[in-house]
Structure 1
Amino acid sequence: MGSSWFVPKTHGYGAFPANWKGWAAVAVFSLLLGLVAIAVFGPLGRLGVALFWQVALYLLLTTVLALGFIVIARRKTSSNWRWRWADDD
């Protein structure tokens, strides 16, 4: 499967970037979230006057991006995700 981009967290649930590829994935995800916000609400926004369809579209697109990122992160993690305490293996 190749090298791992993420390692499991020592406390809690999830993973943490293990190398530059993991950090690049986080950066691309963050950039895409910003671009979605600009595309949906405009470059300057409308100062609190978002239409319902804009909010619904933004929530839909960010949910799709987040789920995609989670799938990639889980596949590129060195072991499976589970709840961990510091003294677990």
Structure 2
Amino acid sequence: MQTRDVIDHYRAEPGYWFVPKLFGIGATPVTWQGWALTIGFAALLVADIRFVHERIAQIAIGVALFAVFTGIAVRRTKGGWSWRWGIRG
């Protein structure tokens, strides 16, 4: 794998906030919008854990936050999410 291939992989294209991970499943934020979404998700999850004291409500809110975050991230990832084994050339 060439360094240039990795650099090109992490270049954001208009309309996309994330790029797929090189190995495995998931995505990496590459724009300020992607980072803002990721940090906002983490902050809301911490607030949920800290301020919601009923365990069932805490879990429900956490699952809902995760579902919304993942749904947005999948739609804003170039090429979608699937298992990857590096850059194929």
TM-score by length of 2: 0.78
Give the secondary-structure state (helix, strand or coil) at the position aligned to 2:82: coil
Give the secondary-structure state (helix, strand or coil) at the position aligned to 1:16: strand
Residue 13 (structure 1) aligned to one of 25, 28, 32:
25
Cα RMSD, aligned residues only = 1.4
In the TM superposition, what is the alpha-carbon distance from 1:57 to its structure 2 partner? 1.0
Give the secondary-structure state (helix, strand or coil) at the position aligned to 1:26: helix
Identity of paired residues, percent? 36
Give the structure 1 partner of residue 84 of structure 2: 84
In the TM superposition, what is the alpha-carbon distance from 1:29 to its structure 2 partner? 0.2
Is 1:65–2:77 an aligned residue pair? no
In the TM superposition, what is the alpha-carbon distance from 1:37 to its structure 2 partner? 1.7
Structure with bigger gyration radius: 1
Larger RCO (alpha carbons 8 Å, 6+ apart): 1
Residue deviations 1:31-69 (CA, integer Å, cap 9, x gap): 11111122213xxxxxxxxxxxx1111111100000000
Matches of 1:60 and 1:25, distance apart in 2 = 20
Structure with bigger strand share is 2
Number of residue equivalences = 76
In the TM superposition, what is the alpha-carbon distance from 1:16 to its structure 2 partner? 0.7
In the TM superposition, what is the alpha-carbon distance from 1:80 to its structure 2 partner? 1.6
Q: Which runs of 5+ in 1 are unaligned?
A: 42-53
Correspondence 1:27-46 to 2 at 5 A: 27-41=39-53
Matches of 1:61 and 1:10, distance apart in 2 = 30
Matches of 1:3 and 1:66, distance apart in 2 = 22
